[in-house]
Chain A
Amino acid sequence: MIIFGTALLAVCHLLGIFLGDLLGQALGVKTNVGGVGIAMLLLIFARIYMQRHSMLPKLTELGVEYWGALYIPVVVAMAAQQDMVSALRGGPVALLSAIAAVAVCACVIAVINRTERPQAQTDGAPTLHDNPLLADAE
């Protein structure tokens, strides 16, 4: 049943958000700490566990993968509701600090990523996913 996959995703999502809120409260911050990240980890573990016990038929997987494939459209909708007007109205302080922060981080990312040993080539390109819904997104 395809709904089992979507329900699994929903349960992981809710549990992750709950744990993130709990973590935030424990740390004394008024916000969720990594709830989505925790939910992602839960889903990864759930997938590994269920695959090992062959509880994951293709149809159940599709219930999750459909939402993963909807990801880019959702991001486009997210872009369409950004507060562009106030972002552009922020003036030179906002503009400069944002540009400088992004530039500094970009340089650090470039430096860190250049230290990675290029072992991927010798191993051959790893298959990162087997989601047929993403075949055309590549």
Chain B
Amino acid sequence: MIDILEKAAVQNGLVTAFAVVGLVILLSGQISRRLTFGRVHGSAIAIVIGLALAYWGGTQTGGHKGLADMTLFGGIGLMGGAMLRDFAIVATAFEVQATEARKAGLIGVVSLLLGTVLPFVVGAGIAWSFGYSDAVSMTTIGAGAVTYIVGPVTGAAIGASPDVMALSIATGLVKAILVMVGTPIAARFLGLKTPRSAMVFGGLAGTVSGVSAGLAATDRKLVPYGALVATFHTGLGCLLGPSLLFFATKALVG
């Protein structure tokens, strides 16, 4: 019996994922209402449960894709993978008011640039203070503080060692998780209320996954505005990381 049930779930991976995620969201809605009296957004709790499940999956399988590495939950990998994630993000653009987006065009670009340079400087500085004082390592770890894709792309381009690459990816992952969990908590401090503020947030906070999850857990209506800017983040970082930022670092530390 159990075998047949398991076989059905494994063979219909994506369908299983819909059921599992639906259950998680149902559960987090209940937790939000009953335990926090609506103070913590249900989506925020769902994302934290997702991350906890990812940790559990990672320790169970030793893989790198969290829960999706377990055969039973392989469909989670498809459902939350880049393809469907981007498809759903693009779909949210349907709700964008073009006038609102245009109003914040320039400030969006400015925050995008700041969002690339500032984390890089901070990350490279901390790498330096921990003894990673060569330009290649500093650049790679700094780029990891931009996003966890910019880190390895930059590292590969300038020839960083594997352990520095791993460190760089870890930095980006921690950042993404911090943004996911921290945004709803800090929403008031960040002034996240209007489409413009969401675009500033999208540019500065970087990482599509962090921004999209953080905004989803704060105010679903703001998602498309933040995501619209954030999707340029990785591209800009991959552009500046191995070039301008690397040369600047090299000029500074020799």
Contact = CB atoms under 8 A, between A and B. Distances in A.
A43 B174 CA distance: 32
Contacts of B97: 126, 128
Interface in B87-137: 87-98, 100-101, 107, 111, 114-115, 118-119, 122-123, 126-127, 130, 132
Interface stretch (B3-11, B32-40, B177-185, B245-253): B177-185
B64 A94 contact: no
Contacts of B122: 97, 100-101, 104
A99 interface: yes
A72 B216 contact: yes
A92 interface: yes
A41 B98 CA distance: 9
A85 B231 contact: no
| Chain A interface helix/strand/loop/mixed | helix
B200 A97 contact: no
Contacts, number: 347
Contacts of B53: 80
A97 B127 contact: yes
B127 A81 contact: no
A105 B101 CA distance: 21
B175 A102 contact: yes
Interface string B227-249: 11101101110110010000000
Nearest to B192: A113
B146 to A, nearest CB: 8
A33 B98 contact: no
Interface string B195-225: 1110011001110110011001000110110
The 7 closest A-B pairs by CB, nearest first: A90-B170, A77-B80, A79-B50, A113-B191, A33-B235, A129-B95, A40-B93
Interface of A: 9-10, 12-13, 16-17, 20, 23-24, 27, 29-37, 39-41, 43-44, 47-48, 61, 64-68, 70-102, 104-106, 108-110, 112-114, 116, 120, 126, 128-129, 131, 134, 137-138
